[in-house]
Amino acid sequence: MILSKNEPKRVFHHFEAISQIPRGSGNEKAVSDFIAAFAKELGLKYVQDASNNLVIYKPGTSGYEDSPPVILQGHLDMVCEKNEGTIHDFLKDPIKLYVNGDYLKARGTTLGADNGIAVAYCMTLLEADDISHPPLEVVLTTDEEAGMTGATNLDAELLNGRQMVNLDSGKVGLFTAGSAAAITAEYNLPIEWETPKGAVEACAITVKGLHGGHSGMDIAKERGNANRILGVLLDALCRAGDIRVANISGGMKVNAIPREAKALITITPTDKENLQAAFEKCAATLAMFFRVADPGLTVTLEPTAPIKKVMSRDCGQKLIASLLLLPCGVQTMSKDMDNLVAASCNIGVVETLADTVKITCMARGAYSEHNSHTEDKISALARITGAQTEFVDRSPAWPFNPDSKILKKFASYYEKHSGEAPKIEAVHAGLECGIFADKLPGLDIVAVGPNLYDLHTPEERLSISSTETIWTFLCGVLGEMK
């Protein structure tokens, strides 16, 4: 076991165990079955539903039997991203863990501590016989990263608790007490195919080397979006000569800022010199613009194999306009909290299908009204370009409650034992807390977690020392909830 020397030992033991089981969004049955068997072996009552969600019940310890139950909640799935050149099959290969100083990382892929560390915390609490706590209802959901369908489909009647600790946010000294609403927009632009006319040359435009990141938590960092950057490059070429787009692709997950994108185009040889000059000028401008947020950005224009069909000029121009005009990045900042994004949109995935280019975006808003405004923008653009739009996977916001009792309990305990007042924040990310708050009227929620960095990217890393700090803190607070 790679993590056998790290504290807390049982937490890292369980994290390493589930890291051997592929558990990308939509592929959680194996890990759900594994934890169900774990609960059964412990003799605990559990429910595994049709969505592979798990609810596991553990009675309160001696003296806590009649205390109000506490819901502990996290999700089973992880975002599956890997570096170019990394050989890894997320459907069958285990995550390759390694320790670098205080950080736990994965080799060339996402780590899955978002939210596997919550699962590990819960498993350790379920098996422990030396930790005082009230009755626990452990809720482990599926598909959180791709649409939160697990939480949406969960039967609320399975839960008796009205105080919940979400283990999917925060860091040492910081508690989360609110999250954004989210919606996915599927924008389908019809393709008019043509056969290339005259003597043309085929080229490939690539965008790579971007940092990427979580489309909510990292959106305010103004990192480059590969799909938007590709649109900027195509627009520069389109204005410099006759080009036709044959194929376009970019991004892997709608909730991850895309790090790479690519387009295949044809050019007219007589325009070659002008196109090269326009490309180099645009590339230099992009490098200057992203020199701080994304210094690793690289863009290339290179010859490629001949192309048999291309999009019509009108279709290509509508595609480029869509990439330039779809809402992308921060839309507005919060008026209630300093440095909090109130509304954003991420152009997450672009793919060329048989008869459409499908562009999938994720909009986030502190309130549903923010997302409605973004929907209106996307719909207005679609009316001009002739695209068909569908808005799916809506998730409600978790509104900030300054009078939250469980938040005050956690904050008071932290200040008492650390000597410092914690930070309280709302996040521009779609936590499942909003769905649970919507399902269970009166539910009081706080979210905590260890220090995690660069979520949804292969640079994801977990602070080992903070994992122990949060574990000690969580056990201590549960011991006071008598």
**CATH classification of 183-395 is 3.30.70.360, yes or no?**
yes
Mean pLDDT taken over the chain: 96
Lowest-pLDDT choice from 114-118, 219-223, 366-370: 366-370
* Residue that the structure tokens 């695209």 belong to: 387
Q: How far apart are CA 14 and CA 75, in angstroms?
A: 15
Mean pLDDT of 418-425: 94
**Confidence (pLDDT) at 429:** 86
**Confidence (pLDDT) at 395:** 85
Q: Which of 137, 143, 144, 454 is catalytic?
A: 144
CATH 3.30.70.360-classified regions of the chain: 183-395
List the CATH code of the domain at 9-180+397-479. Answer: 3.40.630.10
Note the pLDDT tens digit of each residue in 268-319.
999 999 999 999 999 999 999 999 999 999 999 999 999 999 999 999 999 9
**Confidence (pLDDT) at 430:** 80
Note the pLDDT tens digit of each residue in 32-72.
999 999 999 999 999 999 999 999 999 999 999 999 999 99
**Confidence (pLDDT) at 74:** 98
16: its two tokens: 């390493």
| 336 pLDDT higher than 80 | no
114 is catalytic: no
What amino acid occupies position 441?
P
| 244 pLDDT higher than 80 | yes
pLDDT band at 404 (very low <50, low <70, confident <90, very high): very high
pLDDT band at 84 (very low <50, low <70, confident <90, very high): confident
Q: Which of 16, 28, 77, 143 is catalytic?
A: 77
50: its two tokens: 């049709």
194 is catalytic: no
Give whole-number Cα distances, 449 to 144, 171, 406, 463, in Å: 16, 5, 15, 11
Give whole-number Cα distances, 40 to 34, 57, 134, in Å: 10, 11, 20
Q: How far apart are CA 116 and CA 176, in angstroms?
A: 18
Question: Given CA atoms 221, 225, 226, 231 in this order, what sign does their dihedral have?
Answer: negative
For 243-270, the DSSP string reads EEEEEEEE-S-TTEE---EEEEEEE-GG
pTM: 0.75
On the CB side of 424, CA atoms within 13 Å amount to 20
CATH 3.40.630.10-classified regions of the chain: 9-180+397-479
- Catalogue the long-range contacts made by 148-151 (C-beta closer than 8 Å, 24 or more residues apart): 148/182, 148/393, 148/395, 148/430, 148/432, 148/435, 149/51, 149/393, 150/28, 150/51, 150/52, 150/53, 150/75, 150/76, 150/77, 151/53, 151/75, 151/432, 151/435, 151/436
